[in-house]
Amino acid sequence: MSHPHPELGAPPKLPKGGLRVIPLGGLGEIGRNMTVFEFDGRLLIVDCGVLFPEEEQPGVDLILPDFTIIRDRLDDIEGVVLTHGHEDHIGAVPYLLRMKPDIPLIGSKLTLALIEAKLQEHRIRPYTLEVKEGDREQLGPFDCEFVAVNHSIPDALAVAIRTPAGMAVATGDFKMDQLPMDGRLTDLHAFARLSEEGIDLLLSDSTNAEVPGFVPPERDISNVLRNVFANAPKRIIVASFASHVHRIQQIIDAAHEYGRRVAFVGRSMVRNMGIARDLGYLRVPAGLVVDVKTLDDLPDDEVVLVCTGSQGEPMAALSRMANRDHQIRIVPGDTVILASSLIPGNENAVYRVINGLTRWGANVVHKGNAKVHVSGHASAGELLYFYNICKPKNLMPVHGEWRHLRANAELGAMTGIPKDHIVIAEDGVVVDLVDGRARITGKVQAGYVYVDGLSVGDVTETSLKDRRILGEEGIISVFVVVDSSTGKITAGPYVHARGSGIDDSAFDAVIPKIDQALNKSAQDGVVEPHQLQQLIRRTVGKWVSDTYRRRPMILPVVVEV
């Protein structure tokens, strides 16, 4: 199995008749899925998603793929194929279309409806092409056929991309639920037909490759939900992804059965469920869904709230309820259902929310104590089954952390795919399909691009390091006025600390050290403010480290007069 090496350089020119695959996100991480296909100078993009920040990225709202390698080639893009409507596959589209708003978006009815609503907030009207399973579209040199796959959102599609270099199949996210809520199965017959034609490169979802067996059916959750609804004495509050239509459908069915009204809470939840209902993907009995403002008129045992925040996101509705920072106040006897899995990295935030809700008296039902979630991704048993049907000549595991990618590669090898035909890549690693073989040929820039408020890409790793230091160690500011010609101190030093745990009076011990260092530098003829600032930073930093074993941010200010 081939894998990337740190010594990889820029890829060579793509050989004539070859297909280049450049993953810009989703490999080595859960999220930010984006893959660029290149043939004969033309580009096709599959998915364009976001990654959600972790605790060591304070202040960051979203993380985007790095568009650097396509920034100067926007006119070469034939379109963006969106496999389904989850944020980790469509969330970065508005940022791509800011650079060129008329790049065509290709996807299923629900997927396009969700991205169009998102783009409306960015004041972008996209050019879209709606497709469904069985459709085949020629996008420049890319002959794309769309195949139905089952996932935790309706209308998900895989895409088979035919080029003269061979056929590449991108599964998107998928599983093989044999009893799907909407009756829409992963089309194994279509994959078998593609296999007969010859799949030269299969890019396969790896998220659950470490999990043995098969994913249980989504409808298995129904009985658990009914049991919760039957025994809940007061309000029921359900937190779910704002796009998990099948899960929300089961909540609505249980509410209808037990005589409860449903209200959606949170902008994305209200928007997405409105779209799903309007398009017929969500079946809602008349009068069941009410406005959240009318809930005060209903008895607590007739209320169901469906909100966002299942991943502990600090600004989502559920987190704010746990922090007593929301109009809806948790009271003893309320039942809260977290109907989702834990995205890696979110565990602490989720348990913090669970503890907060429990503190106010809620009974919290979550994946750890009840079967209120099944995954949307194929487990190892399903992947083995899938590879035996597809029989790909080359396999490239995608959509997963390193452990998932390696586990998926091992599954492929077990089904007979030669190990030297299995490519384990990471973001930015270029894979070329030439003469029927997929090989790593180089690496391009594919770092994190941070969104912080309205700024995109302005926050750097250095900025985040500074934020972490500020958050963990605090800041010490030192203000000094010096004579511009002699460098001698005319006022100060004044030392103040915030968040460092050091009392301002303690700095009486370091002020003589600053005086001594500055006087010596003046004698040596050093008067340049930047050099004096560096001197102050070193002097105070050494004192704090020696005295307190801490490393706060030190901000020296030197004013010349």
**Catalytic positions, written as ranges:** 205, 377
Q: How far apart, in whole angstroms, are the C-alpha atoms of residue 514 and residue 407?
A: 57
**Which neighbouring-strand residues pair with 168?**
161, 201
Token pair of 322, please? 């746990």
**362 within 8 A of 337, measured Cβ to Cβ:** no
Asked whether residue 376 is marked as a ligand-binding residue, the answer is: yes
Q: Are strands 475-482 and 455-456 parallel, antiparallel or unpaired?
A: unpaired
**Which neighbouring-strand residues pair with 456?**
451
Kind and range of the H or E run holding 108: none
- What are the two backbone dihedrals, phi and then psi, of residue 126, each rounded to the nearest 5 degrees? -80, 160
Asked whether residue 452 is marked as a ligand-binding residue, the answer is: yes
Asked whether residue 187 is marked as a ligand-binding residue, the answer is: no
Which whole-number Å values give the CA distances from 350 to 334, 344, 367, in the listed order? 18, 11, 11
Asked whether residue 374 is marked as a ligand-binding residue, the answer is: yes
**176 within 8 A of 367, measured Cβ to Cβ:** no
Rg (CA), the chain: 28
Q: How far apart, in whole angstroms, are the C-alpha atoms of residue 318 and residue 352?
A: 11
Sequence-separated (6 or more) residues with CB below 8 Å from residue 16: none
Asked whether residue 546 is marked as a ligand-binding residue, the answer is: no
Asked whether residue 310 is marked as a ligand-binding residue, the answer is: no
Asked whether residue 173 is marked as a ligand-binding residue, the answer is: yes
**Cis omega (within 30 of 0) on the bond before 493?**
yes
**Selection from 443, 444, 425 nearest residue 72 by Cα:** 444
Which whole-number Å values give the CA distances from 348 to 29, 139, 351, 369, in the listed order? 18, 44, 5, 17
Cα–Cα–Cα angle for 172, 174, 175, nearest 5°?
165
Asked whether residue 86 is marked as a ligand-binding residue, the answer is: yes
Long-range contacts of residues 220-223, Cβ cutoff 8 Å, at least 24 apart = 220/371, 220/374, 221/247, 221/250, 221/339, 221/371, 221/372, 221/373, 221/374, 222/250, 222/253, 222/254
One-letter identity of residue 203: L
Asked whether residue 122 is marked as a ligand-binding residue, the answer is: no
Token pair of 139, please? 């996008």
Burial 469-492 (b: 16+ CB within 10 A, else e): ebeebbbbebbbebeeeebebeeb
Asked whether residue 404 is marked as a ligand-binding residue, the answer is: no
Residues across the chain: 561
Asked whether residue 496 is marked as a ligand-binding residue, the answer is: no
Token pair of 123, please? 């004041």
Asked whether residue 421 is marked as a ligand-binding residue, the answer is: no
Asked whether residue 244 is marked as a ligand-binding residue, the answer is: yes
Percentages helix, strand, coil for the chain (3-state, rounded to 5) are 35, 25, 40
Asked whether residue 525 is marked as a ligand-binding residue, the answer is: no
Sequence-separated (6 or more) residues with CB below 8 Å from residue 267: none
Q: How far apart, in whole angstroms, are the C-alpha atoms of residue 482 and residue 488?
A: 5
Which residues carry a binding-site annotation for Zn(2+)? 84, 86, 88-89, 151, 173, 399
Which residues carry a binding-site annotation for Ca(2+)? 59, 61, 452
Which residues carry a binding-site annotation? 59, 61, 84, 86, 88-89, 151, 173, 242-244, 373-377, 399, 452
